[in-house]
Amino acid sequence: NAGVTQTPKFQVLKTGQSMTLQCAQDMNHNSMYWYRQDPGMGLRLIYYSASEGTTDKGEVPNGYNVSRLNKREFSLRLESAAPSQTSVYFCASRTGLNEQFFGPGTRLTVL
C-alpha cells in the first residue's frame, strides 16, 4: 500500500516549456487534489477532482490544466511554464471524513 505517489520528484524547466506532473493513489479514494506550496504563502489549492470524470478550479488555477485519467490517477499539466510557477507541488487524496493524505511532492524550478 503505497498511498499517494508523485512523479517526478524534481524538475527544472525553461520558461515556455511544458510538462505533466503525475499523481496516483491506491486507497480507492474518490476525490483528489493538487496544491502548490510557496514560502510565506502556505498551501494553495490549484485544482481538484471530486470524483472520476469531474474537475474543478481551486484558488490558483491560472496556467494549469488537469486530467482525471481514472479513479487512481490525477495529472497536472503546465502548458507554458513561467518562473512564477516555481514551487513545490503536492497531490492529495481524500477520505470520506475529509481527511487528506499527501504525496511526497514535486519540486519544480522554472528558469
* Residue with Cβ nearer another protein (17 or 61): 61
Amino acid at 85: Q
* Residue with Cβ nearer another protein (85 or 100): 100
> At its nearest, how many Å lie between another protein and the CB of residue 53?
13
CB 87 within 8 A of CB 32: no
CB 83 within 8 A of CB 110: yes
> At its nearest, how many Å lie between another protein and the CB of residue 2?
13
C-alpha closest to that of 10 among 76, 73, 88? 88
- Site residues, another protein (CB under 8 A): 30-31, 33, 35, 40-45, 48, 50-51, 56, 58-59, 90, 94, 97-105
* Residue with Cβ nearer another protein (17 or 58): 58
DSSP β-bridge partners for residue 88: 37, 107
